[in-house]
Amino acid sequence: MKAAILYKNKKPLVLAELEIPDKLEVGQVLVKIFYSGICGAQINEIDGTKGKDHYLPHLLGHEGSGIVQKIGPGVSTVKIGDHVVLHWRKSDGIQSLTPKYKLNGKIINAGWVTTFNEKAIVSENRLTVIPKNFDMKLAPLFGCAVTTAFGVVNNDAKIKIGESVIIYGLGGVGLNIIQAASMVSAYPIIGIDIKKNKLLMGKKFGLTHGLLGKSKSLNEKIKKILKNDFADIVIDTTGNSKIIEEAYKLTSPNGKTILVGVPKKNDNISIYSLPLHFDKTLSGSHGGNSKPDHDIPKFIRLINAGKMSLQKIITHEFKLKDINKAIKLFRTGTAGRIIIKTNDDI
């Protein structure tokens, strides 16, 4: 199978033909992948944001869609022919051993799920079955962007009707946070991004006020929208330490600051912590504490009922051979969600 391999941090991925193990271990599932999303987590892996990468060379990608081709011993939640979402959050089923692919006799590492490849051996608990008539191109968004965003709103923030929300960074996760906040009747919903087109996209998903991140007197503009008050919920998806500090300052004394983006290692933040001893909270989100097997069917029902949409979140599509071009575009911050088509025969 063809796959994109990370050999060195901060270097382009390398496409190569890998050997797939003949035998599946307990809990392993062979999936033919059709589409993959690109998430900020992959950029962090490429850049070594969290520190030294001890698993190089290895495969990447943690949100995708595909069809089950083969199942290993003990697998009970999926069967051959099922259409599935590949996701990084644990769900029902066995957690298997990670696969060991080979290239010229050498091991190429992979985690429990990878999606920058034509096929993947995936742990059973990283797969969720979806209806066969659901659009496979949209399905990868359930692997991270949608489940994380809606989980942030429902599980981390627990936004109530009429609560004010600020969202920093309007990428795939940020746009879905807007949509989820709108669905629970938050107001106002203020989005901040350095790209004007992202603000325009946000308006399509329920953003009530969009502000450019580099505009002068940004905090004063935010306070004016809030009637000189603080926000009930402030969510950061950028991982920028300076933005996190501003997000915390704009959060009300009994409000919540929620961090979705991951700062670089040693990129420390400085805050006045006394309010944390009372009712103010500052917390990091781990995928919105989502449970894919339970959450994804709910989102599909909402989409089929016309109460939720993913159509306009995907802005670009590339083939696997152009993965580095897609990553380059992702880094510009101008795109919504970028989709990689890994197989043509769908």
Dihedral pair phi/psi, residue 20, rounded to 5°:
-95, 135
pLDDT of residue 264: 79
> For residue 346, what pLDDT is reported?
65
CA–CA dist 191, 234 (Å, integer): 10
As a whole number, mean pLDDT of residues 248-258 equals 97
Dump pLDDT digits (tens) for 148-188. Answer: 999 999 999 999 999 999 999 999 999 999 999 999 999 99
| Position 141, amino acid | L
- Give the start-to-end residue ranges of the domains of the chain: 2-138+311-341, 145-289
Provide mean pLDDT across the span 281-288: 96
Question: Of 183, 176, 292, 188, which is closest to residue 234 (Cα–Cα)?
Answer: 188
Tell me which fold the domain 2-138+311-341 belongs to.
Quinone Oxidoreductase; Chain A, domain 1 (3.90.180)
Q: Calculate mean pLDDT across residues 95-102.
A: 96
Contact 8/56 with Cβ under 8 angstroms? yes
Q: What pLDDT was estimated at residue 137? A: 96
Which positions ≥6 away from 131 have C-beta within 8 Å? 83, 300
Q: What is the C-alpha separation between 134 and 82, in angstroms, rounded?
A: 12
| Residues whose CB falls within 8 Å of the CB of residue 302, separated by 6 or more in sequence, listed in order | 308
Residue 106 has pLDDT above 90, yes or no: yes
3-state secondary structure the chain: CEEEEECCCCCCCEEEECECCCCCCCCEEEEEEEEEECCHHHHHHHHCCCCCCCCCCEECCCCEEEEEEEECCCCCCCCCCCEEEECCCCCCCCCCCCCEEEECCEEEECCCCCCCECEEEEEHHHEEEECCCCCCCCHHHHHCHHHHHHHHHHHHHCCCCCCCEEEECCCHHHHHHHHHHHHCCCCCEEEEECCHHHHHHHHCCCCCEEEECCCCCHHHHHHHHCCCCCEEEEEECCCCHHHHHHHHHCEEEEEEEEECCCCCCCCCCCCCCHHHHCCCEEEECCHHHCCHHHHHHHHHHHHHCCCCCCCCCEEEEEEHHHHHHHHHHHHHCCCCEEEEECCCCC
User: Is the four-CA dihedral 133, 136, 137, 143 of positive or negative sign?
Assistant: positive
* Inter-residue contact 97 to 28 (CB < 8 Å): yes
Q: Give the pLDDT band (50/70/90) at residue 311.
A: confident
Angle at 242 between CA 327 and CA 43, to 5 degrees: 15
pLDDT at 50: 80
- Give percent of the chain above pLDDT 90: 91
pTM: 0.93
CA distance 224 to 217: 11
pLDDT in the model for residue 144: 94
Query: What pLDDT is attached to residue 145?
Result: 93
CATH topology of domain 145-289: Rossmann fold (3.40.50)
Q: Is residue 95 pLDDT above 80, yes or no? A: yes
Task: Give the tens place of pLDDT for each residue, 35-83.
Answer: 999 998 999 999 988 888 899 999 999 999 999 999 999 999 999 999 9
Neighbouring residues of 272: CB distance < 8 A, sequence distance ≥ 6? none
**The two three-digit tokens of residue 336, written as one number:** 């919504």
